[in-house]
Amino acid sequence: MTRGPLAERRDLLILVLDTLVPASAEFPGAGAVALDHVLAVAAADAALESLLSRGLKVVEEAARANGVSGFAQLSPDDRESVLRQVERSHSDLFEAFVRHTYDGYYGHPMVVTRLGLDPGPLHPRGHRIEAADLPDLARVTARGPIYRQA
């Protein structure tokens, strides 16, 4: 299987994703769970693949402008600073990264589970809502008709 230009920069992509959505006590970073999605959508769309690949180059160039040999050499705080520079200078490109990272991250079963939801298909299970009495609308009806006769 041929690896696309984005997959060739997999290690850098993981660092970018982890900077967008860092790991926390209960949640993994996006590098662990959104990577496959980002690679998959890029592999299915040449224009997106090109856009994101260009984005990684811009990130590397921005990192080098900060006096290091690459993004990986930066501390997590400095990585975030570099990405904020890229967000300002290449907003369209950056939005594509954020959108697909969020899609992959919050569509992932592990994350959905940590949010307290069932990660599987919605059907056939649906959601159970406890039966409730019909709402009390006495106040609303007490006003009488509020429509105009025509």
Partner 1 sequence: MATDDRTDVLVIGAGAAGAAVAWRLARAGIGVACLEQGDWVDPRAYPHWRADWELHRHTDWSAEPNVRRLPQDYPVNDSASSISPLMYNAVGGSTIHWSAHFPRFRPSDFRVRSLDGVADDWPIDYATLEPFFDLNDRMMGVAGMTGDPAYPPKSPRQTPPIPLDTLGVTMARGFDRLGWHWWPSDSAILTRDYDGRRACVNCGPCDLGCPIGAKASTDVTYWPKALASGARLVTRARVREITLGPDGLADGAVYYDREGRVHEQKARAVVLAANGIGTPRLLLNSRSARFPDGLANRSGLVGRNLMFHPYAMVRGVFDRPLDGHRGPIGCSIIGQEFYETDLSRGFVRGYSFQVARGLSPIASASGGSVGDRVPWGREHRRAYDERFDRTITVAIIGEDLPEPGNRVDLDPALADSHGIPAPRVSYTLSENSRRMLDHGIARAREALEAAGAREVVFNPLLRAGGWHLMGTARMGRDPATSVIDAEGRCHDVPNLYIVDGSTMVTCAGVNPTSTIQAVALYIADGIIRRRA
Interface ranges with partner 1 (CB under 8 A): 19-22, 24, 27, 37, 80, 83-84, 98-99, 101-103, 105-107, 109, 111-112, 115-117, 119-129, 131-132, 134-135, 137, 139-141, 143-150
Please state the closest distance from residue 87 (CB atom) to partner 1, in A: 8
Please state the closest distance from residue 134 (CB atom) to partner 1, in A: 7
Return the number of the residue (4 or 22) whose C-beta is nearest partner 1. Answer: 22
What is the 8-class DSSP label of residue 148? P
Please state the closest distance from residue 111 (CB atom) to partner 1, in A: 7
Return the number of the residue (9 or 37) whose C-beta is nearest partner 1. Answer: 37
What's the rounded Cα separation, in Å, for the pair 62 and 25? Answer: 30
Please state the closest distance from residue 61 (CB atom) to partner 1, in A: 20
Respond yes or no on whether the N-terminal peptide bond of residue 76 is cis (omega within 30° of 0).
Answer: no
Return the number of the residue (6 or 34) whose C-beta is nearest partner 1. Answer: 34
What is the 8-class DSSP label of residue 71? G
Neighbours of 110 (CB within 10 A): 12
Please state the closest distance from residue 15 (CB atom) to partner 1, in A: 13
Return the number of the residue (8 or 118) whose C-beta is nearest partner 1. Answer: 118
Please give the C-alpha separations between residue 76 and each of 15, 52, 73, 112, in angstroms, as whole numbers: 9, 21, 9, 25
CB within 8 Å of 51: residues ≥ 6 apart: 93, 96
Under 8 Å between Cβ of 91 and 84: no
